[in-house]
A and B are shown apart, each in its own frame.
Chain A
């Protein structure tokens, strides 16, 4: 029987992507706990396996064996569908991400657009889950999530548009291809396109923190204010899937930042480019995300919106205009 090798390739990628997302979600929890522990001068998980490496497995078993409580009065359909709506788009985003010049499931010409389209479904999932769980804390959290994401998508997309103007393509592999050959070719140091590129990277990074609801912008899950925010009524794997989706989104955010600004799989010194460089850069960004969370207190909600509307959006527009002017001149 003849099977199209393309189908086998896609199946292998499907399994690979799901495994990558799930493994990352599990082991980023471990990384987060370990890193937090060392920041706080503790040891962190150490009992289960060497360095507590089997802790995520045990946590997973615990979450999966717990009863999935659907409280009285919630909207059962929305309540159950919401975690999936957070998790699935995150996994789908992985399809277009090029880990190296050959390691990409689908090299779409609109890859960048696809990722942002999928990423915005995440908000919908949180909103539905929070709204459906009929809890006042969750509803407050939902309102925060939506306005936060609306506010931060604008500077993020404006920055991305700047990048698209420089690269002239939305194909992620081609964007990386234009940055090959050492760190001075990366977009973050692309001063010939715009002197504000490092600032643009910072804007993108801050927006990524806000979009993934990470501290200091964790308005959705502000546990000292809103108990657990949108996840208040979720138990067992319902909560677990939300959690995994959150980490998968962080991986996506860090990957996109790596591709757009840090040259993807390119080696900083122009030697041996490959998937390892992509992973090093991506995990460094994730490490920074976790580092920030355990260092800074939470901002307030209006402080967060002020930051976006009064600082990030004007700067990103200045960068956009500057870039377009410089592209026209040079």
Chain B
């Protein structure tokens, strides 16, 4: 098909995909140079919902920035919480009680499952299948109920605090979480029968949208995108933080580099996250959920600190520079989908429009996190 796009008599036109387009899931605009239905060049244009989160961080105290993190990746807000509190704890030298770390892992893994479920539904919607979206939302609803009972909110969580978490879980949560794990395990075969084994879906995803390992390295793609290209990299395993080293889980890696590989990575990750939650619930120690001696006003010593966590979409890194005052001197966020999107222009050259949109869906873009 690329031979067609490179044919000599080029009569191209520009197609503005977005910022209001059903397939971009937000206000992403992609400027496509098209030759018929083949894409010659794709240029993502950002900036439609830029809110200057990083600059905001320099203008407020360390703790005041915490709610902002949940507003970037609204689908996996708890991982963003985790990244920010971890870097501040590292900077200020705050010890977190073990129970709090367990709660962090339990809630953020449940949040990861909810993020993957929503992606699953939205991705099939991109491919023109409507019903799986509502099935996935049905399951996701249970997670939102669980997380609401403990964090108090359903989407933009701000549950973690410097030195622990804000609320302890109760028996109902444990029972509910176990029931949910059982329920979702029972539903996964249905998803695979209904969607994964569907011949139309297979034809649309297999060998479509190749992203090579080399391309992942070049653009810094992380998360399921790089794991679908055969790169075994997961921050939880390779730069372990929190209690992940104590957990027994696998990192699903697929070598095919196509959209189907990225799809399968995420579907397998749901099961791995459920395993982590199950183990953490089993091992959950007693104790406080907040450290004792956390100062009211945090003033980390002078220095440069970095901490990365694995979100549903890849590696999220926070770098803070402290000058010893009660506000960060500099805050820099490394969000996963920004890097994942940057390879889009190269990856979709010569592709057909529907395939390019399938590729875009398989990247699992969350625009407020790219445009923060």
Instruction: Give the distance to chain A from B210, nearest Cβ to Cβ, in Å.
Output: 16
In angstroms, Cα B267 to Cα A285, docked, is 35
Residues of chain B within 8 A (CB-CB) of A301 are: 37, 352, 354
Do A224 and B131 form a contact, CB below 8 Å, given A136-B13, A297-B204?
A: no
CB contacts under 8 Å to B, within A23-75, are 36, 39-42
Do A39 and B353 form a contact, CB below 8 Å, given A136-B15, A227-B21, A298-B200?
A: no
Residues of chain A within 8 A (CB-CB) of B355 are: 300
A109 adjacent to chain B (CB < 8 Å): no
Q: A303 contacts B203, CB within 8 Å?
A: yes
Q: Mark A80-94, 1 if CB is under 8 A from B, else 0.
A: 000000000000000
**Which one of B22, B23, B36, B129 contacts A296 once the chains associate, using CB atoms below 8 Å?**
B129
A266 adjacent to chain B (CB < 8 Å): no
B215 adjacent to chain A (CB < 8 Å): no
Q: B131 contacts A40, CB within 8 Å?
A: yes
Residues of chain A within 8 A (CB-CB) of B201 are: 297
Q: Mark A225-240, 1 if CB is under 8 A from B, else 0.
A: 1010000000000000
Measured CB to CB, the nearest residue on chain A to B138 is A41
Q: B353 contacts A225, CB within 8 Å?
A: yes
Residues of chain A within 8 A (CB-CB) of B135 are: 40-41
Q: A297 contacts B198, CB within 8 Å?
A: yes
Measured CB to CB, the nearest residue on chain B to A303 is B203
A216 adjacent to chain B (CB < 8 Å): yes
Q: Mark B6-22, 1 if CB is under 8 A from A, else 0.
A: 00000001010000011
Residues of chain B within 8 A (CB-CB) of A300 are: 203-204, 352, 354-355
B56 adjacent to chain A (CB < 8 Å): no
Q: B354 contacts A41, CB within 8 Å?
A: no
Instruction: Give the distance to chain A from B184, nearest Cβ to Cβ, in Å.
Output: 16
B343 adjacent to chain A (CB < 8 Å): no
Most chain-B Cβ atoms within 10 A of its Cβ — which of A40, A223, A224, A295?
A224
A299 adjacent to chain B (CB < 8 Å): yes
Q: A225 contacts B23, CB within 8 Å?
A: yes
Chain A's interface size range is 20 to 34
In angstroms, Cα B205 to Cα A303, docked, is 12
Q: A299 contacts B200, CB within 8 Å?
A: yes
Residues of chain B within 8 A (CB-CB) of A296 are: 129, 198, 200
How many residues does chain B have at the interface if contact means C-beta atoms less than 8 Å apart? 29
B125 adjacent to chain A (CB < 8 Å): yes
Do A224 and B23 form a contact, CB below 8 Å, given A297-B127, A297-B128, A300-B352?
A: yes
Residues of chain B within 8 A (CB-CB) of A41 are: 134-135, 138
B124 adjacent to chain A (CB < 8 Å): yes
Most chain-A Cβ atoms within 10 A of its Cβ — which of B128, B130, B200?
B128
A218 adjacent to chain B (CB < 8 Å): yes
In angstroms, Cα B240 to Cα A43, docked, is 46
In angstroms, Cα B124 to Cα A298, docked, is 9
A330 adjacent to chain B (CB < 8 Å): no
A260 adjacent to chain B (CB < 8 Å): no
Residues of chain A within 8 A (CB-CB) of B352 are: 300-302
B291 adjacent to chain A (CB < 8 Å): no
**Which one of B128, B194, B198, B200 contacts A224 once the chains associate, using CB atoms below 8 Å?**
B128
Residues of chain A within 8 A (CB-CB) of B36 are: 143
Q: List 28 A-B contacts (CB under 8 A).
A: A36-B130, A39-B131, A40-B131, A40-B134, A137-B15, A143-B36, A216-B200, A218-B128, A224-B125, A224-B127, A225-B354, A225-B357, A227-B22, A295-B131, A296-B129, A296-B198, A296-B200, A297-B204, A298-B127, A298-B200, A299-B200, A299-B203, A299-B204, A300-B204, A300-B354, A300-B355, A301-B354, A303-B203
10 new A-B contacts, CB < 8 A, other than A216-B128, A227-B21, are: A39-B131, A40-B134, A224-B22, A224-B128, A224-B357, A294-B130, A299-B200, A300-B355, A301-B354, A303-B200
